[in-house]
């Protein structure tokens, strides 16, 4: 009997990551397993464990991809101050893709329980702080990230509409000199 022919599938790893993101989006972290991802990606179960030995490895790849997809450039528009630009950007993230924002925060907050995710979450925070430090000092940049995370979580957890005026005012207070 001839050996089975291996199918050349260079995109399989990426399809597995994409499937993991869809599974978490639909079922939450609790619904994530190698089996559920394999079914979603339409690949053999062995493919998921070949590319990602543990679920933590798969979650790291998913969080890294979510971070990269959600890295909009902070470019204030003509006549727009930094607080206004950040409030606009936050509004775009929370209203245009609320489901995506929920997914990203779910992955991000999973780092509380899974230490393997913490470096990726820290990379994301560091990248946002670095981007904001081009417009203000590093300490203020960190405070802005904290406020933006707080506004995002309040909006997502209370199921209330995003309030751009509130966000702009709060971010403006952080930016005012003491």
**Element of type H or E holding 96:** none
Residue 154: count other Cβ atoms within 10 Å of its Cβ.
13
**How large is the angle between the packed helices 55-69 and 34-41, nearest 10 degrees?**
50
Q: Given this structure, which CATH class describes domain 12-53?
A: mainly alpha
Domain ranges of the chain: 12-53, 73-175
- Give the CATH number of domain 73-175; options: 1.10.10.10, 1.10.357.10, 3.40.50.1820, 3.40.1280.10: 1.10.357.10
pLDDT digits (tens, 9 = 90+) for 107-160: 888 889 999 989 988 988 888 888 888 889 999 999 999 999 999 999 999 988
Integer angstrom CA distances of residue 21 from 37, 72, 85, 88, 105: 9, 19, 29, 26, 12
Q: Looking at the chain, how many residues does it have?
A: 178
pLDDT digits (tens, 9 = 90+) for 6-59: 567 789 999 999 999 999 988 988 899 999 999 999 999 999 999 999 999 999
Contact 37/58 with Cβ under 8 angstroms?
Answer: yes
- C-alpha of 93 from chain center: 11
CA–CA separation, 12 vs 58, rounded Å? 13
């Amino acid at each position: 009997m001839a050996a089975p022919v291996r199918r050349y599938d260079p995109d399989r790893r990426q399809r597995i990551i994409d499937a993991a993101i869809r599974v978490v989006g639909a079922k939450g972290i609790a619904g994530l397993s190698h089996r559920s991802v394999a079914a979603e990606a339409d690949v053999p179960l062995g493919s998921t464990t070949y590319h990602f030995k543990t679920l933590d490895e798969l979650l790291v790849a998913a969080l890294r991809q979510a971070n990269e997809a959600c890295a909009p450039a902070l470019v204030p528009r003509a006549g727009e101050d930094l607080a206004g630009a950040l409030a606009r950007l936050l509004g775009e993230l929370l209203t245009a893709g609320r489901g995506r924002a929920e997914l990203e925060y779910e992955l991000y907050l999973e780092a509380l329980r899974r230490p393997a995710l913490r470096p990726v979450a820290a990379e994301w925070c560091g990248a946002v702080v670095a981007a904001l430090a081009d417009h203000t000092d590093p300490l203020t940049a960190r405070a802005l990230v904290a406020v933006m995370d707080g506004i995002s979580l309040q909006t997502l957890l209370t199921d209330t509409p995003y309030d751009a005026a509130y966000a702009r005012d709060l971010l403006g207070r952080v930016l005012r000199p003491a």
